[in-house]
């Protein structure tokens, strides 16, 4: 029973030193934050070269900004912006780019329901379906995929809260290539869902993970809930997550999406905790399997 290869998002401005540290700890993959898309292609190429130098393989990236424009008439321009990001992700050697489907420019989360009601639920669906369809096709022609991520409870009016919601969007877009699912364990936990069960439901459609820990739903303020701790610094059932990944024969790397935000947070501590704790959860899973528990 092989251990999963591990990757993590960028947590330092000094990419060269950061990649060196990742390799020292044992990470093999890098996840690009959306802010990188604002940089010129020369800097992106430099990031690729540094990954080669340090033996770290780029895996995926998070899209910058929201998924939809604030008016249907702007949709074609928005799709063109997303395609430009996919071009840069291709340059970065990413296999996929993750999107928050349903999110809207200049519309605060608490205004999502009113925005959808104003344009009509069917039209809102059409905007999302068209964007997914065009981006999936564009990505597939570059041997890439787009990943649709589950969002936390009450985010974007619960548009893609669970896997069944994501499946509905994929079916509505009428695509079967160029698109997959990203399970964010932290978002699932905030939503009162089990990340392991979501992984099982996603099955072969799972192409990416955003693994981080929290203490579930504590407040209507999402920033209080979604604190992006390393696995084990929270109450997610990580042994079940490991089990689910094995059950669906997940072949990709496990990607952590961490977010130091408190004065006491330290990047190196976060990286060590994520790596070491995950390996411990894998060990517990193996013990259960070998003992028949």
pLDDT tens-digit series, residues 158-178: 999 999 999 999 999 999 899
Q: What is the pLDDT of residue 239?
A: 98
In a domain, residue 218? The reply is yes
In a domain, residue 195? The reply is yes
Q: What is the pLDDT of residue 228?
A: 98
In a domain, residue 199? The reply is yes
- 158-172 exposure pattern, b = at least 16 Cβ within 10 A, e = fewer: bbbbbbebbbbbbee
In a domain, residue 79? The reply is yes
Which CATH number goes with the domain that contains 245?
Answer: 3.20.20.150
In a domain, residue 47? The reply is yes
The structure's pTM equals 0.96
The count of structural domains within the chain is 1
In a domain, residue 122? The reply is yes
Specify burial of residue 35 (Cβ count, 10 A radius: 0-12, 13-18, 19+): exposed
d(CA 195, CA 191): 10
Residue 171 per-residue DSSP state: H
Q: What is the pLDDT of residue 36?
A: 86
In a domain, residue 1? The reply is no
Q: What is the pLDDT of residue 271?
A: 98
Write out the DSSP string of 56-81.
Answer: -EEEEEEPPS-SB-SSGGGHHHHHHH
Residue ranges, the chain, pLDDT below 70: 1
Specify burial of residue 262 (Cβ count, 10 A radius: 0-12, 13-18, 19+): exposed
Q: What is the pLDDT of residue 156?
A: 95
Rg of the chain over Cα atoms, rounded to whole angstroms, equals: 19
Convert the pLDDT of each residue in 235-283 to its tens digit. 999 999 999 999 999 999 999 999 999 999 999 999 999 999 999 999 9
Which residue range forms the structural domain that includes residue 109? 6-288
- Other C-beta atoms closer than 10 Å to the C-beta of 47 total 21
Q: What is the pLDDT of residue 292?
A: 77
- Other C-beta atoms closer than 10 Å to the C-beta of 105 total 13
In a domain, residue 277? The reply is yes
Q: What is the pLDDT of residue 1?
A: 64
């Amino acid at each position: 029973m092989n251990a999963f290869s591990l990757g993590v998002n960028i947590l330092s401005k000094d990419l060269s030193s950061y990649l060196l540290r990742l390799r020292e700890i044992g990470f093999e993959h890098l996840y690009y934050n959306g802010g990188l898309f604002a940089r010129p292609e020369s800097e992106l190429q430099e990031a690729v070269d540094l990954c080669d130098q340090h033996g770290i393989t780029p895996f995926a990236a998070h899209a910058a900004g929201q998924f939809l424009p604030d008016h249907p008439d702007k949709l074609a321009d928005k799709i063109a912006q997303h395609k430009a990001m996919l071009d840069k992700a291709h340059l970065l050697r990413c296999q996929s780019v993750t999107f928050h489907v349903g999110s809207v420019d200049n519309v605060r989360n608490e205004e999502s329901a009113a925005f959808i009601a104003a344009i009509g639920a069917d039209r809102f669906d059409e905007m999302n379906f068209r964007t997914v369809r065009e981006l999936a096709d564009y990505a597939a022609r570059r041997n890439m995929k787009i990943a649709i991520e589950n969002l936390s409870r009450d985010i974007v009016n619960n548009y893609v809260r669970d896997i069944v919601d994501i499946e509905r969007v994929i079916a509505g877009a009428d695509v079967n290539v160029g698109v997959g699912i990203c399970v964010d364990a932290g978002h699932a936990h905030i939503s009162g869902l089990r990340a392991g069960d979501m992984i099982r439901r996603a099955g072969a459609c799972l192409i990416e993970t955003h693994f981080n820990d929290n203490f579930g739903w504590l407040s209507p303020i999402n920033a209080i809930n979604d604190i992006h701790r390393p696995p084990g610094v929270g109450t997610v059932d990580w042994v079940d997550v490991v089990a689910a990944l094995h059950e669906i024969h997940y072949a990709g790397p496990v990607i952590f999406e961490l977010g130091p935000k408190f004065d006491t947070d330290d990047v190196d501590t976060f990286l060590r905790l994520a790596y070491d704790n995950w390996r411990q959860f894998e060990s517990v899973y193996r013990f259960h399997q070998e003992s028949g528990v």
